[in-house]
A and B are shown apart, each in its own frame.
Chain A
Amino acid sequence: DTGVSQDPRHKITKRGQNVTFRCDPISEHNRLYWYRQTLGQGPEFLTYFQNEAQLEKSRLLSDRFSAERPKGSFSTLEIQRTEQGDSAMYLCASSLGGTFNTEAFFGQGTRLTVV
């Protein structure tokens, strides 16, 4: 499989619980992005990594959200003390960095439902 892989595909959790999602990018891609998408909306940027460095984080991201990419390969996104408003599709994408921006390839997403 040469695409972006996300795990799990679906997650149902109770309010207040912590959840962690994993993303495995395309192997040669050094940029990795997390986006969030709610019904009827376009994706919303959360954060992005170049290799292992987290270079940008959306102001929309509260302190309950944290993302890591420890060895510049896979990434995890953790949400602590989940709230119902966190229910959304969480999308991971990867791309090749360099002089020219290249297209990002997306995984199938993790759908989070907070009950």
Chain B
Amino acid sequence: AQKVTQAQTEISVVEKEDVTLDCVYETRDTTYYLFWYKQPPSGELVFLIRRNSFDEQNEISGRYSWNFQKSTSSFNFTITASQVVDSAVYFCALMAGNNRKLIWGLGTSLAVNP
């Protein structure tokens, strides 16, 4: 079975705090891709990052960083020095094996307060 779990339903932080969004995935396939998307109040899903199962290097993009740990089946997302514009729902998703569809977590709603 393929599954994505985002245990944190809602997170509220004050601006400039660092925040980590957790994502745990399940799959028996050895080839898979993990994604993070941002959904601001406008509703459009914005692609943030893709990581394939053979590349465990962590990635940093500005204030965003991702920690991929195959040993714990986790792909966590950290926002450093959060800003109000980071307020959104963040989804982690999995595409595995021959599947062409994304399996989604339920999302984490992040509120960054001034």
Contacts and interface: CB of A to CB of B under 8 A. Distances in A.
Interface residues of A, number: 28
Interface in A62-101: 89, 91, 93, 97, 100-101
Interface stretch (B67-75, B79-87, B98-106): B98-106
A40 B12 CA distance: 17
B104 A43 contact: yes
A42 B106 contact: yes
Contacts, number: 56
A97 B101 CA distance: 12
15 contacts: A33-B102, A35-B102, A41-B106, A42-B91, A42-B93, A42-B107, A45-B102, A89-B43, A93-B45, A100-B52, A101-B95, A102-B50, A104-B47, A105-B47, A108-B42
Interface of A: 31, 33, 35, 40-45, 48, 50, 55-56, 89, 91, 93, 97, 100-109, 111
